A = this chain, B = another copy of it.
Amino acid sequence: MAMVCLSDFEAYAKKYLPKIAWDYFAAGADDCTTRDENILAYKRIRFRPRMLRDVSVMDIRTKILGSEISFPVGIAPTGFHQLAWPDGEKSTARAARAMNTCYIASTYSTCTLEEISAAAPGGLRWFQLYIHRNRAASQQLVQQAEALGFRALVLTADLPYTGKRRDDVRNGFRLPPHMKLKNLEGAFEYGLPPNSLDPSVTWNDIYWLRSLTRLPIIIKGILTRDDAELAVRHGVQGIIVSNHGGRQLDEGPATIDALVEVVEAVRGRVEVYVDGGIRKGSDVLKALALGAKCVFIGRPAVWGLAYKGEEGLQNVLRILQDEFRLSMALAG
Report the stretch among A19-27, A99-107, A184-192, A194-202 that lies at the interface: A194-202
The answer on a CB contact under 8 Å between B5 and A30 is yes
A330 B52 Cβ-Cβ under 8 A? no
Q: Which of A208-229 contact B (CB under 8 A)?
A: 219, 221-224, 226-227
Which residues in B have their C-beta under 8 angstroms from that of A51?
Answer: 157-158, 219, 221-223, 227
Contact among B198, B205, B326 with A164 in the assembled complex (CB-CB below 8 Å): B326
Choice from B161, B198, B200, B280 contacting A326 with Cβ under 8 Å: B161
Output the residue of A31, A52, A158, A224 with the most chain B CB within 10 A: A52
The prevalent SS among residues of A at the interface is loop
Chain B residues with Cβ below 8 Å from A205 are: 52
Contact B52 A251 (CB under 8 A): no
CB–CB A45/B251 < 8 A: yes
Which residue from chain B places its CB closest to the CB of A226 in the assembled complex?
Answer: B50
Are A46 and B282 interface neighbours, CB within 8 A? Answer: no
- B33 close to A43 (CB less than 8 A): yes
Q: Which of A31, A251, A282 has the most CB of B within 10 A?
A: A251
| Interface size band for A | 35 or more
Task: For the complex, give the distance between the alpha carbons of A209 and B49 in Å.
Answer: 23
Say whether A119 faces chain B, with CB atoms less than 8 Å apart: no
Q: Which of B46, B170, B248, B282 contacts A330 (CB 8 A)?
A: B248
Distance between Cα atoms of A241 and B169 in the complex (Å): 34
Beta-carbon contacts under 8 Å, A299-332 to B: 323, 326-327, 329-331
Task: Check if A67 is an interface residue, CB within 8 A of chain B.
Answer: no
Contact B2 A170 (CB under 8 A): yes
Most B-side CB within 10 Å, residue of A33, A170, A198? A170
Do residues A55 and B200 form an inter-chain contact, with CB atoms below 8 A?
Answer: yes
C-alpha gap A319/B52 in the complex (Å): 36
What are 26 A-B pairs with beta-carbon distances under 8 A? A5-B30, A5-B164, A46-B251, A46-B252, A47-B252, A48-B224, A48-B253, A49-B158, A49-B248, A50-B224, A50-B226, A50-B227, A51-B158, A51-B221, A51-B222, A51-B223, A52-B203, A52-B230, A53-B202, A55-B161, A158-B330, A160-B329, A163-B326, A199-B329, A250-B280, A252-B331
Top-8 shortest CB links A-B? A249-B330, A56-B200, A51-B157, A56-B199, A54-B200, A47-B252, A2-B170, A49-B252
